[in-house]
Chains A and B, each alone.
Chain A
Amino acid sequence: MRRPSISATRGGPIPVRSLAHTGPDSLAGRRVMSQLGERAPFAGTRRGRLRHAQHEPFENMGDSWHPICRGETPFVRATRPEGGSSRCRGGCCVAHDGELVERILRDARRDVLAELDRMFTERRRTGYGPLYDLLADYPFREGKGLRPAICLSACRASGGTTDQACCLQPRSSCSTTRSSSTTTSRTARRTAAARQHCSGGTVYRLPSTSATQRTSWPWHRCWKT
């Protein structure tokens, strides 16, 4: 079943200008949330119907909204909401797990920094060290690790493994992959790669048709450039 894009759902496209004012109390916010609710994951399945049954109308949430959902907390909390559930205690449509987010961000940042550290160490050893001291200044600053976390998570969501987006093996292991592959046939290598690929995570098949082709979203004109 094709999942409709945000602008193809009932109610027409969301005006771009409304996206800058989508607080829980705004009319635009209610519209966005209602449209997001319509295209929730597993929509149309038994699990999806159960989720919809638990989803209370926006107006009736009142004080049962989690502070994050009410907009009172500016940052993602590191702890789960009261009761240990990953869902808002009011049962709202924002499925949030602070511990999971923190762990994903921490692991991604750790892996990428380890790879950068290895690379800069090698460059300092073989090149002009002071240059790489300057280059290393920015990536090693304090940060949340949002970009590597998105990249590695998208890799795993597509059915891949972390080392496909960030080579975590020692260089010697990577180089031996090429030399050992000469002893097997091309078909066997590809079959083995596909098998390894599928065992690494849940395979997520991207929609075969671009959602942007069926929308009136104004920015799609420049996406292909």
Chain B
Amino acid sequence: MAPLLENVATIGVRKALLVFREIERMARESVEGQAIELGWVGGGVFDLTDDDYVRMAYKKTCWYTVIAPLRIGAICGSLPGPEAPIDDELDPLIELGFLTGIAFQVRDDLLNLAGEEAIYGKEAAGDL
């Protein structure tokens, strides 16, 4: 939070509060998504559908990786003062971030299973 507070002189109080709100939403969604996944692991739940996976990834990955960075960037870069973006203007970025984030997560999961560790950069099958 310190860099955001120090940047208030540049972006103003209203935008700083909007960014605060985005961070709160991002943290909440990410924790919920992580809790969903841990609940499956802890409870041995394997009877899952694609929709279950998409819902979990939407919360765990999409908000943290794409949606929040997109919305925070749009808030910071928008017109100053009362012209700052309203919710209806920011909502389409959720859909964009959702589609991008799901593609990112599917690709990441597939590489985790089948990718070469040297290229992938992470431990192979580390998500299993």
A interacts with B: yes
- Does A160 lie within 8 Å of B94, measured CB to CB? no
What residues of chain A lie closer than 8 Å to B56, measured between beta carbons? none
- Does B119 lie within 8 Å of A154, measured CB to CB? no
Interface of A is mostly: helix
Cβ proximity bits B49-86 to A, threshold 8 Å, 1 near / 0 not: 11101110010000011100111111011111100010
- Does A207 lie within 8 Å of B89, measured CB to CB? yes
- Does A16 lie within 8 Å of B89, measured CB to CB? no
- Does B78 lie within 8 Å of A160, measured CB to CB? yes
- Does B91 lie within 8 Å of A158, measured CB to CB? no
Instruction: Mark the stretch among A54-62, A79-87, A89-97, A141-149 that contacts chain B.
Output: A141-149
- Does B70 lie within 8 Å of A154, measured CB to CB? yes
What residues of chain B lie closer than 8 Å to A22, measured between beta carbons? 103
Query: Which residue of chain A lies nearest to B77 when distances are taken between CB atoms in the complex?
Result: A160
Kindly state whether residue A209 has any CB partner on chain B within 8 Å.
Answer: yes
Q: Across the A-B interface, how many residue pairs have beta carbons closer than 8 Å?
A: 147
- Does B76 lie within 8 Å of A147, measured CB to CB? no
- Near B by CB (< 8 A), chain A positions 166-225 give 166-167, 171, 174-175, 177-178, 190, 193-194, 197, 201, 206-213, 215, 217-220, 223-224
- Does A75 lie within 8 Å of B119, measured CB to CB? yes
Given the interface pairs A19-B54, A20-B50, A20-B106, the reply to whether A158 lies near B77 with Cβ below 8 Å is: yes
- Tell me the smallest distance from the CB of B98 to a CB of chain A, in Å: 7
- Does B54 lie within 8 Å of A20, measured CB to CB? yes
Query: Which residue of chain B lies nearest to A156 when distances are taken between CB atoms in the complex?
Result: B77
For chain A, the count of residues having a C-beta within 8 Å of the partner chain is 57
What residues of chain B lie closer than 8 Å to A154, measured between beta carbons? 69-74, 77, 93
Kindly state whether residue A151 has any CB partner on chain B within 8 Å.
Answer: yes
How far, in angstroms, from A163 to B76 measured CA to CA in the complex?
9
Kindly state whether residue B92 has any CB partner on chain A within 8 Å.
Answer: yes
User: Residues on A close to B: CB < 8 A?
Assistant: 5-6, 16-17, 19-20, 22, 74-75, 115, 119, 142, 146-148, 150-161, 163-167, 171, 174-175, 177-178, 190, 193-194, 197, 201, 206-213, 215, 217-220, 223-224
Can you show 10 pairs from A to B with CB atoms below 8 A apart?
Answer: A5-B95, A17-B54, A147-B64, A147-B65, A165-B77, A174-B9, A177-B9, A206-B92, A207-B92, A211-B92
